[in-house]
């Protein structure tokens, strides 16, 4: 069965935590992650050296959370299952695949509730709609996040199975507030810079809040559906 869930700290972590069924006899371990490619890489390196990792190394990991859409096909509230993550690095497109077995089981359990996608991992927040659409066209990715490739790349070296389920929280046709200044180098959100960035783009901020709430509600529902005893037990080979 899936023994560990990785999810970005904050509202996403809260939604997943609330979605875990109280009836689940053996709940998975919840590991909160910082925001961003570099921050996640550093965090996982440190985690690997901790005693709890060495004594209870995970075997099947599910990454959950929110992501952004890079195409008109996917809208806020849509559930996606990752097939692979790609990263643009020095004009090269690097690829890391999710585990085929876990991914296939997620497709079976979620059926028409979720779509299989390619995700782009960005080292910064993409807030311009025009850039989102261009990145989608140039990479063939349908969604974007800031952690996926780093996670897959880390666990591939350890031969640990990873699957990913995320919920769309913003579309590809509207600009977002530029929240880059609110994300620290350690992958945390600073409340004051966040508030200032939202204040500067009030209409975009309101839409972001509404869409994020919708995405978080769906994330909680998906977590609740996947992690009940009758479903969760079927993740074991």
Q: What are phi and psi of 122, to 5 degrees?
A: -110, 145
pLDDT of 91 reads 84
Average pLDDT over residues 177-200: 93
Of 159, 168, 173, residue with least CA distance to 12: 168
Rounded to whole angstroms, the Cα distance separating 29 from 79 reads: 22
Residue in the block written with tokens 């640990």 = 160
pLDDT tens readout for residues 98-108: 999 999 999 99
Reported as half-sphere exposure (CB side, CA atoms, 13 A), residue 190 has a value of 12
Q: State pTM to two decimals.
A: 0.93
Q: What is the mean pLDDT of the chain?
A: 92
Residue 233, pLDDT > 60, answer no
Nearest to 165 by CA among 98, 96, 89: 98
Measured distance CA(145)–CA(35) in Å, rounded? 10
85 in Cβ contact with 162 (< 8 Å): no
Domain spanning 4-173+216-235: CATH superfamily = Nucleoside phosphorylase domain (3.40.50.1580)
Average pLDDT over residues 47-76: 90
> What average pLDDT does this structure show over 30-57?
89
The string of DSSP letters for 180-212 reads GGGB-TTS-B-HHHHHHHHHHSHHHHHHHHHHH
**Those residues with Cβ within 8 angstroms of residue 115's Cβ, 6 or more apart along the chain or in another chain:** 74, 78, 79, 80, 81
Distance CA 145, CA 40 (A): 12
For the chain, give every domain's residue range.
4-173+216-235
């Amino acid at each position: 069965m899936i023994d560990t869930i990785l999810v970005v700290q904050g509202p996403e972590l809260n939604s997943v935590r609330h979605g875990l069924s109280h009836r689940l006899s053996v709940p998975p371990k919840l590991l909160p992650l910082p925001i961003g490619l570099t921050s996640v890489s550093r965090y996982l390196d440190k985690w690997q050296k901790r005693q709890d990792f060495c004594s209870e190394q995970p075997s099947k990991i599910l990454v959950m959370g929110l992501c952004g859409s890079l195409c008109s096909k996917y809208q806020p509230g849509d559930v996606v299952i990752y097939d692979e993550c790609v990263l643009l690095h020095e004009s090269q497109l690097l690829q890391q695949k999710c585990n085929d077995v876990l991914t296939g089981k997620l497709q079976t359990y979620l059926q028409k509730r979720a779509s299989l996608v390619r995700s782009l991992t960005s080292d910064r927040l993409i807030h311009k709609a025009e850039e989102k659409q261009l990145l989608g066209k140039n990479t063939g990715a349908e969604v974007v996040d800031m952690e996926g490739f780093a996670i897959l790349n880390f666990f591939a070296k350890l031969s640990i199975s990873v699957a990913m389920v995320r919920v769309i929280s913003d579309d590809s046709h509207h600009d977002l507030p530029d929240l880059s200044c609110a994300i620290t180098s350690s992958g945390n959100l600073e409340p004051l810079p966040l508030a200032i960035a939202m204040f500067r783009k009030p209409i975009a901020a309101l839409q972001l809040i509404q869409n994020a709430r919708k995405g978080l509600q769906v994330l909680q529902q998906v977590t609740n559906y996947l992690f009940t005893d009758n479903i969760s037990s079927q993740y074991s080979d």
